[in-house]
């Protein structure tokens, strides 16, 4: 994530640039108004997005899911800087956040994130996209299967489909419920940022579901709650120390 797109090789073609702009502006109108990513944490600290910035800081410093992902990003050569890689902005619709791959920045929807637990889930979800962007050549803008895979992983590993969250949504008691939740939320996420039919989104998710659902990196397991996430973070740190001593 620290490596900007132009540091990975030649920039996108003109058609892809237009596609990136179209996708981003559907959901993040401030990106169109500014024509560039927001300045981030320090420059906007005392504006009306102060609550968003404070919740973000709390998440980065205390959340077990996020701490593991930050360590994994650094280990992969994509260290995250909160001033550069996060931006609190107003968003259209009910979207809570997004990963703007064109500038390697996570957008947090300050008008839709209402409390700390919500911020924790959104940052975790988007950092999984950032991790995928770091470790693989993801074609976010023209290959819906690539997007579908990352959305499956984010729904599976971020806690979006935890039992507690599903009880609050009044969704529970079904056989293989976790898989059903992951599939449904991945489809919803795709439809929120792509102007495609539900059938196309479902087909993309179904085609990649098995392999992407079983890809648990960097957690090594599905972290169903904060305790699992803490154990996963401990195991990641121990694994990192082991390989560094070989």
pLDDT band at 240 (very low <50, low <70, confident <90, very high): low
pLDDT band at 201 (very low <50, low <70, confident <90, very high): very high
**CB environment 195-234: b (16+ within 10 A), e (fewer):** eeeeeebbebbeebbeebbeeeebbeebbeeeebbeebbe
pLDDT band at 167 (very low <50, low <70, confident <90, very high): low
Percent of the chain with pLDDT over 70: 72
pLDDT tens per residue across span 86-137: 999 998 888 899 999 999 999 999 999 989 999 999 999 999 999 999 998 8
Tell me, yes or no, if 16 is annotated catalytic.
no
Residue 58: pLDDT over 90: yes
**Mean pLDDT score of the chain:** 81
pLDDT at res. 193: 87
pLDDT tens per residue across span 10-42: 334 434 444 454 445 456 666 655 555 555 555
Which residue is catalytic, options 126, 166, 199, 217?
Answer: 126
Average pLDDT for residues 144-166, to the nearest whole number?
A: 89
The CA-based angle 12-13-18, given to 5 degrees, is: 90
């Amino acid at each position: 994530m620290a490596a900007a797109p132009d540091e990975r090789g030649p920039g996108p073609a003109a058609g892809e640039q237009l596609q990136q702009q179209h996708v981003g502006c559907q959901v993040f109108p401030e990106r169109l108004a500014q024509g560039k990513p927001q300045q981030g944490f320090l420059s906007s600290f005392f504006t009306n997005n102060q609550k968003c910035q404070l919740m973000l800081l709390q998440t980065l410093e205390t959340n077990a899911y996020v701490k593991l992902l930050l360590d994994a990003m650094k280990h992969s050569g994509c260290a995250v800087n909160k001033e550069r890689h996060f931006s609190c902005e107003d968003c259209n619709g009910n979207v809570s956040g997004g990963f703007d791959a064109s500038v390697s920045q996570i957008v947090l929807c300050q008008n839709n994130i209402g409390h700390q637990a919500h911020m924790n889930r959104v940052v975790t979800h988007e950092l999984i996209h950032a991790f995928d962007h770091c470790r693989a050549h993801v074609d976010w803008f023209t290959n819906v299967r690539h997007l579908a895979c990352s959305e499956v992983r984010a729904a599976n590993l971020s806690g979006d489909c935890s039992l507690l969250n599903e009880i609050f949504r009044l969704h529970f008691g079904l056989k293989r419920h976790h898989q059903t939740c992951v599939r449904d939320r991945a489809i919803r996420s795709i439809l929120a940022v792509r102007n495609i039919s539900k059938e196309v989104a479902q087909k993309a998710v179904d085609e990649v579901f098995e392999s992407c659902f079983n890809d648990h990196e960097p957690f090594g397991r599905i972290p169903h709650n904060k305790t699992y996430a803490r154990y996963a973070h401990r195991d990641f740190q121990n694994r990192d120390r082991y390989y560094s001593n070989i």
